C-alpha cells in the first residue's frame, strides 16, 4: 500500500515542481477523519482508506496521465464520535478555514483542476457547501469524486444499514493492513429499523435528525464487522479504484 511518490505533491523534488503546472494536472485533495471505528479498527481507518485508494489509483494510471495528490487533510468533522478515545475532530469553522486555505494555496501554486476525494461521510455536507463557495471564486474547476462502495457480495442489511466500521471498512483494512486490525474483537451492531437509518442520512432523507454514535451503537460499530474478510476487501478495493479511475479520466 504505497502511493507512487512521483504522484504526491509532498514528495516532489524542487526541480520537478516547476514543470508540473504546465501539464495542467488534476490535483486530488484527500479529506478524511480520525475517529473511533469500533472495538477492532484503528482511529485512522478513513485516512488509511484514502491512502489505499490513492495507492491503487497510482498503479492504474498511465504514466502520461497528469494526476497528483495533495497533502491529505486527515482530521475532519467527527463531532458525532466525540467522547470515544482517540477522536480528533475539527469544528465546522476550523474545517472551513483549513479547506479554504488548502484550495487557495493550491490555486496559488498554479493548479486549476482540483478533485476532492473524501472518505468520511460526516465531512460531506460541510465540504459540498464549501465547494460551491470556492467555485464562485473562479479560476479553478472543483470536482467531487464518488468513493462508492461496490456492493458485490454484501448482505442486503449491510448495504442498507452498514454505516461505519462494519463489513466494508473492516474488509478493506484486512486486505491491506491486517496488522492494524483486531479481527477477534469485531462485532455486529445494527442501528435500528430502516426509518431510523433513513433519518440519519442527511443527504438522502426528506426529514433528518442529528445523532451521536453512542446513541446508535455503544461499541461504535454500525454494521456487521464479523462478516468481513480480506478476500471481500480486495474485491471492493478493486471495484472502488476502477470506479474512481473512470471518474478521473472523465475529468482529464
Ligand atoms: Zn470510516
Q: What is the CATH number of the domain that holds 61?
A: 3.40.50.10310
Residue 115 counted as domain residue: yes
What distance in angstroms lies between residue 110's CA and the mean position of ligand 1's atoms?
32
Residue 189 counted as domain residue: yes
Residue 103 counted as domain residue: yes
Residue 174 belongs to domain spanning? 6-13+24-251
Q: How many CB atoms lie within 10 A of CB 160?
A: 14
Q: How far apart, in whole angstroms, are the C-alpha atoms of residue 105 and residue 111?
A: 9
What distance in angstroms lies between residue 45's CA and the mean position of ligand 1's atoms?
6
**What cell numbers appear for 131 in the block?**
465547494
The H or E element that residue 55 is part of is helix 45-60
Q: How far apart, in whole angstroms, are the C-alpha atoms of residue 155 and residue 160?
A: 9
Q: How many CB atoms lie within 10 A of CB 150?
A: 16
Residue with cell 491491506: 176
Q: How far apart, in whole angstroms, are the C-alpha atoms of residue 198 and residue 207?
A: 8
* Cβ atoms 100, 109 nearer than 8 A: no
pLDDT tens sequence for the chain (252 residues) = 778 888 999 999 888 888 888 889 999 999 999 999 999 999 999 999 999 999 999 999 999 999 999 999 999 999 989 999 999 999 999 999 999 999 999 999 999 999 999 999 999 989 999 999 888 888 889 999 999 767 788 888 888 888 899 999 999 999 999 999 999 999 999 877 655 666 566 555 555 667 788 778 889 999 999 999 999 999 999 999 999 999 999 999
What distance in angstroms lies between residue 141's CA and the mean position of ligand 1's atoms?
27
Residue 149 counted as domain residue: yes
What distance in angstroms lies between residue 177's CA and the mean position of ligand 1's atoms?
15
Residue 19 counted as domain residue: no
The H or E element that residue 98 is part of is helix 92-109
Number of domains in the chain: 1
Residue 18 counted as domain residue: no
Give the pLDDT confidence score for residue 8 in this predicted structure.
Answer: 94
Give the pLDDT confidence score for residue 209 in this predicted structure.
Answer: 67
Give the pLDDT confidence score for residue 214 in this predicted structure.
Answer: 79
What distance in angstroms lies between residue 101's CA and the mean position of ligand 1's atoms?
25
Residue 1 counted as domain residue: no
What distance in angstroms lies between residue 166's CA and the mean position of ligand 1's atoms?
9
By residue count, the chain amounts to 252
What distance in angstroms lies between residue 234's CA and the mean position of ligand 1's atoms?
17
Q: How far apart, in whole angstroms, are the C-alpha atoms of residue 151 and residue 235?
A: 10
Residue 240 counted as domain residue: yes
What distance in angstroms lies between residue 198's CA and the mean position of ligand 1's atoms?
18
> CA nearest 78: which of 214, 233, 228?
214
Give the SS3 label for residue 143: strand
Give the pLDDT confidence score for residue 58 in this predicted structure.
Answer: 95
Distance of CA 3 to the CA centre of its chain: 15
What distance in angstroms lies between residue 111's CA and the mean position of ligand 1's atoms?
29
Give the pLDDT confidence score for residue 148 in this predicted structure.
Answer: 79
User: Alpha-carbon torsion 111, 70, 5, 109, what sign?
Assistant: positive
Give the pLDDT confidence score for residue 137 in this predicted structure.
Answer: 84
Q: Record the pTM.
A: 0.92
What distance in angstroms lies between residue 164's CA and the mean position of ligand 1's atoms?
6
Amino acid at each position: 500500500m504505497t502511493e507512487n511518490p512521483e504522484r504526491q505533491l509532498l514528495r516532489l523534488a524542487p526541480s520537478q515542481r516547476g514543470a508540473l503546472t504546465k501539464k495542467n494536472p488534476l490535483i486530488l485533495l484527500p479529506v478524511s477523519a480520525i475517529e473511533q471505528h469500533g472495538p477492532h479498527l484503528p482511529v485512522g481507518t478513513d485516512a488509511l482508506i484514502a491512502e489505499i485508494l490513492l495507492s491503487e489509483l497510482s498503479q492504474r494510471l498511465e504514466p502520461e496521465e497528469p494526476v497528483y495528490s495533495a497533502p491529505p487533510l486527515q482530521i475532519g468533522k467527527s463531532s458525532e464520535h466525540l467522547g470515544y478515545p482517540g477522536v480528533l475532530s475539527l469544528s465546522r469553522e476550523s474545517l472551513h478555514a483549513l479547506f479554504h486555505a488548502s484550495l487557495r494555496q493550491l490555486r496559488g501554486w498554479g493548479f486549476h483542476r482540483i478533485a476532492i476525494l473524501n472518505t468520511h461521510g460526516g465531512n460531506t455536507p460541510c465540504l459540498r457547501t464549501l465547494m460551491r463557495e470556492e467555485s464562485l471564486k473562479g479560476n479553478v474547476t472543483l470536482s467531487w469524486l464518488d468513493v462508492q462502495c461496490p456492493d458485490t457480495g454484501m448482505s442486503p442489511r449491510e448495504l442498507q444499514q452498514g454505516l461505519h466500521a462494519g463489513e466494508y471498512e473492516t474488509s478493506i483494512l484486512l486486505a491491506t493492513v491486517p496488522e492494524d486490525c483486531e479481527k477477534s474483537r469485531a462485532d455486529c451492531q445494527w442501528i435500528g429499523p430502516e426509518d431510523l437509518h433513513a433519518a440519519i442520512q442527511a443527504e438522502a432523507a426528506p426529514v433528518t435528525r442529528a445523532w451521536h454514535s453512542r446513541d446508535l451503537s455503544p461499541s461504535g460499530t454500525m454494521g456487521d464487522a464479523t462478516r468481513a474478510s480480506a478476500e471481500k476487501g480486495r474485491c471492493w478495493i478493486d471495484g472502488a479504484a476502477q470506479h474512481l479511475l473512470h471518474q478521473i479520466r472523465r475529468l482529464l
